[in-house]
Structure 1
Amino acid sequence: MSTADAPLPEAPVLDGPPPRILMIRAPYYRAIVDGMTVSAQALFATVGAHVETVDVAGAFELPQALGIAMHSRTRFDGFVALGCVVRGETDHYDYICDSAMHGLMSVALEHGICLGTALLTVDTIAQAEARSAETGANKGAEAAVACLKQIVLARRLGAA
């Protein structure tokens, strides 16, 4: 099934209060990240989630921002990281993608947080557009679902 033909995901059923979510965005490719943001926010709205959004300079800064959020006075139930990296002519793409994804997972594992990630790593803008469109498999919505499913798990296991 192609990305364009995939259905939009549905939010899981949550027990307990509406979750508080921090969405960290790297809007270097603004239209792409905005498309993922709109779909993620729409999905969070279906469960009454309270979403706070912050922007960082680029994908490389996503894990740093997530780490800073671990020291915030505000308690968040879950986190979503959104960004896009498009392959260029140098190795820069590989370093950024690997560092950003590894950094996000390191923070998530170290702090036991509920994290959904939509860091698009694509060869072309067209691929990114297909993954951030209002219809089809919007990766922002998928990241929101992943975050919510982790929250469901954390609450079920008494970790939230």
Structure 2
Amino acid sequence: MSEHNKSLLNDAGILNLEDASVVMVYTEWNDAIVNELVAGCDNTLHQYKAAKIEKVIVPGAFELPYACKQYWEATKGSGKQPGAIIAFGCVIRGETPHFDYVCKAVTEGILQLNLQLPIPVIFGILTVDNEQQALDRLGGAHGHKGEEAAITALKMIALQRDLARK
């Protein structure tokens, strides 16, 4: 992990995952924040020598579940399917109920993907009241959520492999 990380997650259970394949699906919206999430994730995946890292960009958070599902469908049967998908976005509360609708829809969409797909879809969407709260989650008081999402993805790949051996 990078020295600035104050992650609550540790890397216990991440062993021999050099062949891991992870796809990051992320938004253009709030790109300065989201790009930092992606960079932290990318650095951590490289640190653990993930074999394949793909990136897919979508306009906004609402489109994340669709893009995750379509990526899975497009790679089905190709041998190029990922071991995990990480969805990254940042939704900042505004003056209208739009925040509530988007957050609820994205959360439920990612949940449904986790129940439907045979791989984990990691929830890397920041849902914050203001930009400072987002920045606090990019290596500040609340850790680096991009790095934590990478660790979560690798741990879930390890779990999936362990369960397949049972």
For the residues of structure 2 that align with 1:83 and 1:106, how far apart are their CA atoms? 17
* TM superposition shift of 1:45: 0.6
Q: For structure 1, list consecutive stretches of 5 or more residues without a partner in the other structure.
A: none
When residues 9 and 27 of structure 1 are mapped into structure 2, their CA distance, relative to the original with a 3 A threshold, is farther
Matched, 1:129 2:139: no
How is 1:26-65 mapped onto 2 (pairs within 5 angstroms)?
26-49=27-50, 50-65=52-67
Matched, 1:21 2:22: yes
For the residues of structure 2 that align with 1:142 and 1:16, how far apart are their CA atoms? 16
Q: 1:95 aligns with which of 94, 101, 109?
A: 101
For the residues of structure 1 that align with 2:141 and 2:40, how far apart are their CA atoms? 9
Q: Describe the superposition over 1:36-67 as per-residue Cα deviations: whole angstroms up to 9, x where unpaired.
A: 11110111012211210110010000000011
* TM superposition shift of 1:107: 1.0
Matched AA of 2:19? P
For the residues of structure 2 that align with 1:5 and 1:54, how far apart are their CA atoms? 25
When residues 148 and 79 of structure 1 are mapped into structure 2, their CA distance, relative to the original with a 3 A threshold, is same
Q: TM-score, normalised by structure 2?
A: 0.85
What RMSD, in angstroms, separates the aligned Cα atoms of the two structures? Answer: 2.1
Count of residues in correspondence between the two structures: 156
Q: Describe the superposition over 1:100-134 as per-residue Cα deviations: whole angstroms up to 9, x where unpaired.
A: 01101101211131222210000000111111248
Q: TM-score, normalised by structure 1?
A: 0.88
> Identity of counterpart residues, as a percentage?
32
SS of 1:80's equivalent? strand
Matched AA of 1:66? C
For the residues of structure 2 that align with 1:9 and 1:43, how far apart are their CA atoms? 13
Q: For structure 2, list consecutive stretches of 5 or more residues without a partner in the other structure.
A: none
For the residues of structure 1 that align with 2:44 and 2:73, how far apart are their CA atoms? 27
